């Protein structure tokens, strides 16, 4: 398995952490053969405010820089922040300058990129288009955009290439962990600073 570098809060379960009845050897063998590597896949979409949907596996130490670079290349000057917890609907902030949203997130970039329960993003839309960059709680990115060329160029500049049959860590059992309780205090600060 050529697994990309995972964040602190996401890991493969130990054998004693699987529920009873799971065929642990079979799951582990399938995961070991899976294509869970750094890379992206992109799909063309019809009839929506975006033309392309991409999912991206990315080494944890690149998440923040790629997020910021994609933000500057895909998101207009005025956008809204997205913040939330695993398995909950994210909360959207009011519209603000992208600099303001990034400034708030930057204070908690370690927690946002490593905690297995936090998810975040940035987006903007108008009557004709939607552009969104979202980092899931499993720390892979999802992108909705109309600008495929800029998306691919930005990812390639970080050494991230399109990968056939790319798979994702949450297609198999995975353990999500919070870093500490103080990160949830931090998420409340982010909500307050973003006005949500």
**How long is the chain?**
196
Residue 7 pLDDT greater than 60, yes or no:
yes
Place of tokens 């946002």: 112
Q: What pLDDT score does 115 carry?
A: 92
The crossing angle, in degrees rounded to 10, of helices 63-74 and 148-157 is 150
Q: What pLDDT score does 181 carry?
A: 61
Who has greater pLDDT, 180 or 152?
A: 152
What's the pLDDT tens digit per position in 142-151? 999 999 999 9
Task: Give the integer Cα–Cα distance in Å for 92 and 195.
Answer: 9
SS (H, E, C) the chain: CCCCCCCCCEECCCHHHCCCCCCHHHHHHHHHHCCCCCEEEEEECCCCCCCEEEEEECCHHHHHHHHHHHHHHHCCCEEEEEEEECCCCCEEEEEEEHHHHHHHHHCCHHHHHHCCCEEEEEEEECCCCEEEEEECCCCCEEEEECCHHHHHHHHHHCCCCECCCCCCHHHCCCEECCCCCHHHHHHHHHHHHHCC
pTM over 0.85: yes
Instruction: Calculate the average pLDDT of the chain.
Output: 91
Per-residue pLDDT, averaged over 171-185, amounts to 78
What's the pLDDT tens digit per position in 51-106? 999 999 999 999 999 999 999 999 999 999 999 888 888 989 899 999 999 998 99
Task: Give the integer Cα–Cα distance in Å for 107 and 148.
Answer: 30
- The answer to whether the Cα torsion of 7, 107, 178, 123 is positive or negative is negative
Residue 189 pLDDT greater than 90, yes or no:
no
Two tokens, residue 47? 């009839």
């Amino acid at each position: 398995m050529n697994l990309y570098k995972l964040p602190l809060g996401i890991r493969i379960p130990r054998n004693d952490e699987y529920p009873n009845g799971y065929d642990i050897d079979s799951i582990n063998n399938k995961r070991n053969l899976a294509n869970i590597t750094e890379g992206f896949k992109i799909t063309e979409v019809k009839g929506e405010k975006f033309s392309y949907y991409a999912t991206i596996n990315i080494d944890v130490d690149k998440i923040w820089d790629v997020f910021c670079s994609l933000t500057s290349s895909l998101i207009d000057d005025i956008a809204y922040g997205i913040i939330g917890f695993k398995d909950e609907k994210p909360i959207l902030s009011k519209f603000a300058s992208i600099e303001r949203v990034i400034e708030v997130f930057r204070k908690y970039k370690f927690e946002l990129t490593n905690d297995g329960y936090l998810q975040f993003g940035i987006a903007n839309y108008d009557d004709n288009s939607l552009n969104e960059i979202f980092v899931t709680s499993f720390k892979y990115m999802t992108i909705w955009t109309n600008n495929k060329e800029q998306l691919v160029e930005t990812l390639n500049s970080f050494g991230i290439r399109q990968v056939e049959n790319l798979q994702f860590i949450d297609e198999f059992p995975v353990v999500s962990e919070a870093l500490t309780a103080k990160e949830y205090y931090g998420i409340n600060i982010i909500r307050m600073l973003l006005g949500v």
